[in-house]
Structure 1
């Protein structure tokens, strides 16, 4: 065998190994951001499970604040439904937008509930309410932490996918699009100072 033939086969082997490395890296990074999204999902489900308990306790004290309680319940149900419809292996653009929108609505409704509860000192003093509020705040922190982890994993995937030579091969390997960050927009309800009137 001639040296040129050996060099040709070695270069071809190196190219194949390099291409396999790019494919494996894309798969690894995609699996990382899918796993990170699964962590968000766990925390959101935990929060969705806590909200009905919060509403039930508040009902006893806020009987005439039915509209606020219904808004929280409806927003919770909508967000839970959106989360349930997401395909875990294919979280993408429209899915993230719908989830972020549902979460923004839920955050707005919870904010209104918190403002309403401020007017009821006996409700705030309730041991069950304090415990649920603390658990909900802890869960909110976990959601924020999980979302940051997800967004970091997405950023790493997108950066690698957009760099050379991965960008040339990503579509061929089944990664035609960038992953989408999960961003909860600050809605006008959240941005505006709460208006409390007596």
Structure 2
């Protein structure tokens, strides 16, 4: 049985409108051009196989982040091993949302890793050389994501089109790393 994170707020009332607006919206090569501007709505859809939780939330309306939605995202992207929650940098969520929109998919992201506590990051580093000592996951600025309907290459190209952070391709593990750090890319 999956747990649902739900809240009744003004974003909930605008949900039906947002779904229609998102489907009808055009796709551009510069994702942040698409996300900027008054009157826009930003939405993120994710699920976690680790916790059984899912979310589909509007987190930005008409130039403002919605505090309740950001709090929900922070909780959802917590370190599931320790249950530690920190503030997730909204720029990372913007990159994720813009990439999702560019791929024109309705499927939610599978979140593999959002925030990582220092203990979790150290444990993962001891098991893999691909885990950075000073990972942006430690400060809530990164996410590792997967989509069943898109390849690692397709996801990475969409994230790279944002020109707004780091994009790592992990083809053997079938996921893409997105962060709001310096613009760079790696992996294959």
For this structure pair, what is the TM-score category when the shorter chain's length is used for normalisation? under 0.3
Q: Highest CA radius of gyration, 1 or 2?
A: 1
Higher fraction of helix: 1
Q: TM-score, normalised by structure 1?
A: 0.22
More strand by share: 2
TM-score, with normalisation over the residues of structure 2?
0.23
Structure possessing the higher relative contact order (Cα contacts under 8 Å, 6 or more residues apart): 1
